[in-house]
Amino acid sequence: MGRLILRGERCDNGLAMSFTVTTCPLVEARAPRADLADFTVRCPEIARAARPGQFIMVRCGDFTLRRPISICDADGDLVRFVFEVRGTGTAWLAERTVGDALDILGPQGNGFTLGDTSRPAVFVGGGIGIFPLLHACKPFGARAAVLLGFRTAGLISMVEDFQAAGADVRLATDDGTAGHHGLVTDLLRARCDAGAVDAIFACGPKPMLRATAAIAEEREIPCQLSLEQRMACGVGACLGCAQKIRRPDGTETYAHVCSDGPVFEASVVVW
Amino acid sequence: MMMTTPNLTVNIAGVTLANPVVTASGTFGFGREYGTLYPLSELGAIAVKGLTLKERPGNAPPRVAETPAGMLNSVGLQNPGVEAFIREELPWLKAQGAVVIANIAGNTIEDYCAMAERLSDTAVDLIELNISCPNVKAGGVAFGTSCASVAAITAAVRGACRKPLIVKLSPNVTDIAEIAVSAVDHGADALSLINTLLGMRIDIATRRPVLANNVGGLSGPAVRPIAVRMVWQVRGRVSVPIIGMGGVATWEDAVEMLLAGANAVAVGTALYADPFASVKITRGLREYLERHGMADVQELVGAVQAH
């Protein structure tokens, strides 16, 4: 293993991986919770190019920076993305309604390398990190075990979508209000004890990712993590979204979440 | 009357730019990302990511934070080093037909001179002396905040440099016009201004600075009035070409910067919201000149009629 790409992937012509900047209509806008928006846009260029784990940069009115949002699903001409309202930019975005045009850049980044989808895989998601796992788990169907962790039952979302994809979904909550009372990584340990796991894919808060990486390392299971960092350009030009990683020769350097990631092999991440 | 296409070319220290819109160093990498959207030859020039003698890993994250009408960055000059640039980036950039401005930063005057000398043997078109980076502890802005140190470093690099030399000025000074005069008197062929303004954001929940470096450089429309004022003040004291930058996002902003006294403008932060901002500004400038029946964009330079 050890896919490690620095300064982004390049095409034969020396350019970075291509992306589109386009204006596309919002065709579905739902609010599963007051602070969560579930949007679908009609955007054939991005929908057809999108790979699981990639993200889009959405322009929010007059704000200086676009907001990076992971692609939850891409199907036909449609791109679905789910985001939490965290500040004034995402609040502006959440107020858009069906028919509004959104200015979107993407798809961007190196997503999950799914490998052999006929083998069992485990997906570990925490909080708002669960959304990109839907696109990734679909090709595995019933061979996907999807372990989702939340602070409390009221924050649980998208379980039906994962079930509709055929996945075996297990829940954990910090306060025990739903599913396992404890951490989602407890579920991961139990799943690994119960039978062979060929691959782990994870997205969520840093402590969860770090614990997931430790479990994967001790059990020698290939593991890919989708990371987050404050981002500006989203295309690899500004070098803002740095993530420390270990090179094959053991030296450390800063890679970039937007162009080298957002998905990294767990073994290269320096915590 | 025959409608003629206005002349958008600009001469910066002997180098002809096809138009007066360049990219600001640090916002455009080495061109490989935004080059997927439009030919790089459509830009007046590309100021590449700041280079140092050896590879620099840059600062710890978080490195960026949005602010009202702007952003802070503390990237810390992450770059592969001047030799890797010459070997791996420059030939490709030149093959795209781009005019290349090599932005250089160092810890010592010797570093700057060594880089200027090395780059003089390459295909770079101009060298931009970065004495205004607010994000590195040694060097950077330390050289750019007094007339004496600006004079010393400009004179030293001038002696080592066989390319046109641009000095990029920091706004974090008491009197930028005095600094500009020092740079020009000691060999600057052109000036770039402004670099970012030192700023800070604090997360009130954690009571910690948002940036891991605590402070960072402020850019974006928030700084534009300061940049316009500084270009105007410097234009009043020097006659060398000025590349004006700081929050330029639209063609109207570019016209304002030219009226203040800039011969060209650089676009940076605006690219993050609209990657096409630079090429749209060029188009907007052309249309503006046509509407006003102007033959040459340079007619705008310094044409503000001050009260």
Three-state secondary structure string covering B161-198: CCCCEEEECCCCCCCHHHHHHHHHHCCCCEEEECCCEE
Whether residue A115 is contained in a domain is answered as: no
Q: d(Cα A263, Cα A211) in Å, to the nearest integer?
A: 16
Question: In B185-269, at which residue ranges do the beta strands (DSSP E only) sit?
Answer: 190-193, 197-199, 202-203, 208-209, 216-219, 242-245, 264-267
Whether residue B1 is contained in a domain is answered as: no
Whether residue B46 is contained in a domain is answered as: yes
Is A254–B70 a contact, with Cβ atoms under 8 angstroms apart?
no
Q: Residue A35 sits in a domain of what CATH number?
A: 2.40.30.10
Whether residue B271 is contained in a domain is answered as: yes
Whether residue B2 is contained in a domain is answered as: no
Query: How many CB atoms are located within 10 Å of the residue B19 CB?
Result: 23
pLDDT for residue A1 is more than 60: no
CA angle B108, B112, B117 (to 5 degrees): 140
End-to-end C-alpha distance for chain B, whole angstroms: 34
Q: d(Cα A198, Cα A121) in Å, to the nearest integer?
A: 6
The predicted pLDDT at position A4 comes to: 46
Note whether A12 and A131 are same-domain residues: no
Chain A residues inside the 8 Å CB shell of B62: 229-230
Residue A149, token pair as written in the block:
């962790």
Nearest CA in chain B to A257: B61
State the DSSP code for B263: S
Which of B64, B73, B203, B218 should we substitute to test contact with A (largest number of A Cβ atoms within 10 Å)?
B64
**Min Cα separation B167/chain A (Å):** 22
Question: In chain A, at which residue ranges do the beta strands (DSSP E only) sit?
Answer: 20-33, 36-42, 55-58, 67-70, 73-75, 78-84, 101-108, 121-126, 144-150, 168-173, 180-181, 199-203, 223-226, 242-246, 252-256, 263-265
Is B66–A64 a contact, with Cβ atoms under 8 angstroms apart?
yes
Q: Write out the residues of chain B at the interface with chain A, using a CB-CB cutoff of 8 A.
A: 26-29, 32-37, 49, 57-67, 69-71, 73, 75, 78, 80, 92, 95, 210, 220-221, 269, 271-276
Note whether A22 and A50 are same-domain residues: yes
Burial of residue A188 (number of CB atoms within 10 Å: 0-12, 13-18, 19+): buried
Helix ranges (H only) for chain A are 44-49, 88-94, 132-137, 159-164, 184-194, 206-218
The predicted pLDDT at position A12 comes to: 82
The predicted pLDDT at position B302 comes to: 98
**Min Cα separation B98/chain A (Å):** 14
Chain A residues inside the 8 Å CB shell of B49: 239
The predicted pLDDT at position A10 comes to: 75
Nearest CA in chain B to A19: B36
**Min Cα separation A213/chain B (Å):** 20
Which of A108, A140, A162 marks a domain boundary? Answer: A108
Backbone angles phi, psi at B67, to 5 degrees: -135, 170
Is B269–A236 a contact, with Cβ atoms under 8 angstroms apart?
no
**Residue B133 falls in the annotated catalytic set:** yes
The predicted pLDDT at position B132 comes to: 81
Q: Write out the residues of chain A at the interface with chain B, using a CB-CB cutoff of 8 A.
A: 7-8, 10, 14-19, 21, 59, 62-66, 89, 105, 229-244, 252-254, 259
The predicted pLDDT at position B80 comes to: 96
Q: d(Cα A40, Cα A80) in Å, to the nearest integer?
A: 4
pLDDT single digits (tens) A57-79: 999 999 999 999 999 999 999 99
Closest CA to A59 of A121, A28, A104, A95: A104
Residues sharing a CB contact under 8 Å with residue A198, sequence separation 6 or more, in sequence order: A115, A116, A119, A120, A121, A221, A222
Is A232–B92 a contact, with Cβ atoms under 8 angstroms apart?
no
Q: Residue B209 sits in a domain of what CATH number?
A: 3.20.20.70
Q: d(Cα B171, Cα B193) in Å, to the nearest integer?
A: 8
pTM: 0.95
Domain count, chain A: 2
Q: d(Cα B288, Cα B72) in Å, to the nearest integer?
A: 32
The predicted pLDDT at position B135 comes to: 67
Whether residue B255 is contained in a domain is answered as: yes
Chain A residues inside the 8 Å CB shell of B27: 233, 237-238
Q: Residue A135 sits in a domain of what CATH number?
A: 3.40.50.80
Backbone angles phi, psi at A28, to 5 degrees: -150, 135
Is A239–B49 a contact, with Cβ atoms under 8 angstroms apart?
yes
Note whether A86 and A129 are same-domain residues: no
**Which of B28, B71, B275 lies at the smallest CB-CB distance from A232?**
B71
Is B60–A242 a contact, with Cβ atoms under 8 angstroms apart?
yes
Note whether A247 and A131 are same-domain residues: yes
The predicted pLDDT at position B2 comes to: 54
Domain count, chain B: 1
Catalytically annotated residue among B113, B133, B147, B161: B133
The predicted pLDDT at position B142 comes to: 76
**Min Cα separation B252/chain A (Å):** 16
pLDDT for residue A144 is more than 70: yes
pLDDT single digits (tens) A166-195: 999 999 999 999 999 999 999 999 999 998
Q: d(Cα B270, Cα B278) in Å, to the nearest integer?
A: 8
Is B271–A234 a contact, with Cβ atoms under 8 angstroms apart?
no
Treating both helix axes as pointing N-terminal to C-terminal, what angle do B277-291 and B251-260 enclose, rounded to 10 degrees?
Answer: 70
Note whether A136 and A260 are same-domain residues: yes
Q: pLDDT tens digits for chain B (307 residues)?
A: 556 799 999 999 999 999 999 999 999 999 999 999 999 999 999 999 999 999 999 999 999 999 999 999 999 999 999 999 999 999 999 999 999 999 999 989 999 999 999 999 999 999 999 998 776 665 567 789 999 999 999 999 999 999 999 999 999 999 999 999 999 999 999 999 999 999 999 999 999 999 999 999 999 999 999 999 999 999 999 999 999 999 999 999 999 999 999 999 999 999 999 999 999 999 999 999 999 999 999 999 999 999 9
Average pLDDT for residues A260-264, to the nearest whole number?
96
Q: Domain of A91?
A: 5-108
Burial of residue B304 (number of CB atoms within 10 Å: 0-12, 13-18, 19+): middle
pLDDT single digits (tens) A15-29: 988 899 999 999 999
Which of A12, A56, A102, A230 should we substitute to test contact with B (largest number of B Cβ atoms within 10 Å)?
A230
Is A21–B276 a contact, with Cβ atoms under 8 angstroms apart?
yes
Chain A residues inside the 8 Å CB shell of B221: 64
Chain A residues inside the 8 Å CB shell of B67: 64
Chain B residues inside the 8 Å CB shell of A66: 272-273
Torsion-angle region of residue A24: left (phi > 0), alpha (psi -120 to 50) or beta? beta
Note whether A34 and A86 are same-domain residues: yes
Q: Domain of B266?
A: 10-300
